[in-house]
Structure 1
């Protein structure tokens, strides 16, 4: 599936990178692509949970941090993790329609 997906290092998952609309592929290839995406999509909540755990850890560090520059750094890291979670949810929700085609 490497020709249809590319790994996004920021999000930690492969994302669709189709050069053609899905309808331009034969039915077997469509099913293969959609099945793979459904597996990736199913892993998104686990990825989000891991990131939330990391945020909680950083928030705990932040609550005990007295060094202002370090506090700013932790806040920046927390904001970036929250941004990643937001983007993952967008991919999860935006592609629900695509994923329902797997079952048709």
Structure 2
């Protein structure tokens, strides 16, 4: 039984992938996984801050944009980035009880 942490390109962080159910891991392994997750989890607020800066930049571009198609693209980009922030907050709230992807 192992757990790997796989980089998620969309979120910009590594996410845990369990090969078994959480309860099947030994206490030692659970603690090891949680320790690694806490290290990754600690980077999430900085990642969110970076994405918020991207959103602000795109909003500034949108305010000055006169081309309708480009405006639509900027709006779409902003919505995508906001979705990433939402998902990052969900992962950030994942703490001591792990609801991770399980692979069999």
* RMSD between superposed Cα atoms in Å: 1.7
What pairs with 1:1-104 in structure 2 (closer than 5 Å)? Answer: 3-93=3-93, 95-98=94-97
Structure with greater proportional helix content: 1
Q: How many residues align?
A: 97
For structure 2, the residue ranges without an aligned partner over 5 or more in a row are 99-104
Structure with greater proportional strand content: 2
Report the Cα distance in structure 1 between the residues aligned to 2:37 and 2:96, rounded to whole angstroms: 12
Relative contact order (alpha carbons < 8 A, sep ≥ 6): 1 or 2 greater?
A: 2
> Runs in 1 of length 4+ with deviation above 3 angstroms?
none
Deviates more, 1:48-57 or 1:15-24: 15-24
Give the deviation of 1:3 after TM superposition: 4.7
